[in-house]
């Protein structure tokens, strides 16, 4: 398999499509599908390097095969790629004919100095055989995927920060509005008292204002008189 100009042109188009996506799930699906089509892979694993360990973000395997079992089998190679941070090509088992061997590629997803994950692809000897050009092509695809993934992460962080700031601003505004309403209530009571209004009229004014401030019709003002009896001048 060779990386002819048409495959490089398709790779550039795939990179543009990746950068236009706004969903990690769609990005992961595109990376797996592109790997199958670009290098003719029979199996593909898109693996994220998470604090909890290697995590599958996407896979393409043959019917009846287990993608998790494949991940477990290639974990030592992923660990090696974590150390070397370079793309590799393997043919095995050693000593077997090319038709009986399996070609395996692994390319790390590097965004600057950050290692985000790995792209694994293989093909059985009866269906094809990878070479250095396929390895280099997969490395380019992995690099594009890493950049697109990093951009999505940055966008998600920025959106979360903006949402948090907007919520804080709304909360501060709500508190300011409540404080303004409280002050208006206090000043209104003081004004009514200065106008020598009756106690009952002042209570009615205060109750009506409290209903307006709190947006409720359920307001009770309870008063304890000098004899200790409870009165409800407003309900």
What's the pLDDT band for 56 if we cut at 50, 70, 90? very high
130 and 184 share one domain:
no
Owning domain of residue 226: 173-234
Taking a C-beta distance cutoff of 8 angstroms, is the pair 60, 36 a contact?
yes
pLDDT in tens, 112-155: 889 999 999 999 999 999 999 999 999 999 999 999 998 888 77
Q: Which residue has the tokens 């290692």?
A: 115
Average pLDDT over residues 64-75: 96
How does DSSP classify residue 120? E
What is the rounded average pLDDT for all residues in the chain?
A: 85
- Residues 136-165 as b or e (16 or more Cβ within 10 Å = b): ebbbbbbbbbbbbbbbbeeeeeeeeeeeee
pLDDT in tens, 74-120: 999 999 999 999 999 999 999 999 999 999 999 999 988 899 999 99
How does DSSP classify residue 93? S
**Domains in the chain, number:** 2
31 and 55 share one domain:
yes
Per the domain annotation, does 189 fall within a domain? yes
* CATH for 93: 3.30.450.40
- Please report the pLDDT score of residue 194 as a whole number: 57
- Please report the pLDDT score of residue 154 as a whole number: 79
The residue among 97, 126, 160 that closes a domain is 160
61 and 133 share one domain:
yes
- Please report the pLDDT score of residue 131 as a whole number: 95
Q: 223 forms bridges with which residues in the sheet? A: 231
225: tokens are 């008189």
186 and 85 share one domain:
no
Say how far apart CA 205 and CA 221 lie, in whole Å.
11
Higher pLDDT, 56 or 151: 56
Per the domain annotation, does 166 fall within a domain? no
Asked if residue 192 has pLDDT above 70, the reply is no
What's the pLDDT band for 216 if we cut at 50, 70, 90? low
Q: Describe the crossing of helices 5-20 and 24-39 by its angle, rounded to 10 degrees.
A: 170
138 and 194 share one domain:
no
pTM over 0.85: no
Name the residue among 15, 116, 115 with its Cα closest to residue 57. 116
CA geometry: angle 204, 208, 212, nearest 5 deg: 170
Taking a C-beta distance cutoff of 8 angstroms, is the pair 127, 43 a contact?
no
The residue among 125, 160, 195 that closes a domain is 160
Give strand ranges (E) for 150-227. 221-224
- Please report the pLDDT score of residue 51 as a whole number: 92
């Amino acid at each position: 398999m060779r990386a002819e100009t048409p495959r490089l042109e398709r790779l550039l188009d795939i990179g543009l499509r990746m950068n236009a996506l706004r969903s990690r799930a769609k990005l992961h699906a595109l990376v797996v599908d592109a790997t199958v089509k670009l290098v003719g892979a029979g199996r593909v694993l898109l693996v994220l390097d998470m604090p909890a360990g290697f995590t599958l973000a996407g896979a393409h395997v043959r019917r009846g095969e287990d993608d998790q079992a494949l991940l477990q089998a290639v974990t030592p190679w992923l660990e090696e790629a974590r150390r070397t941070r370079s793309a590799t090509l393997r043919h095995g088992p050693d000593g077997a004919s090319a038709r009986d061997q399996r070609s395996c590629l692994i390319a790390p997803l590097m965004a600057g100095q950050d290692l985000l994950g790995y792209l694994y692809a293989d093909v059985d000897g009866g269906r094809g055989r990878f070479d250095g050009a396929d390895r280099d092509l997969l490395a380019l695809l992995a690099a594009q995927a890493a950049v697109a993934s990093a951009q999505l992460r940055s966008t998600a962080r920025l959106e979360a920060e903006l949402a948090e700031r907007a919520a804080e601003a709304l909360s501060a505004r709500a508190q300011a509005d409540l404080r303004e309403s409280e002050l208006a209530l206090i000043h209104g009571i003081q004004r009514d008292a200065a106008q020598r209004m009756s106690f009952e009229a002042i209570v009615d004014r205060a109750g009506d204002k409290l209903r307006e401030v709190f947006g409720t019709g359920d307001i009770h003002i309870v008063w304890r008189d000098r004899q200790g009896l409870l009165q409800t001048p407003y309900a």
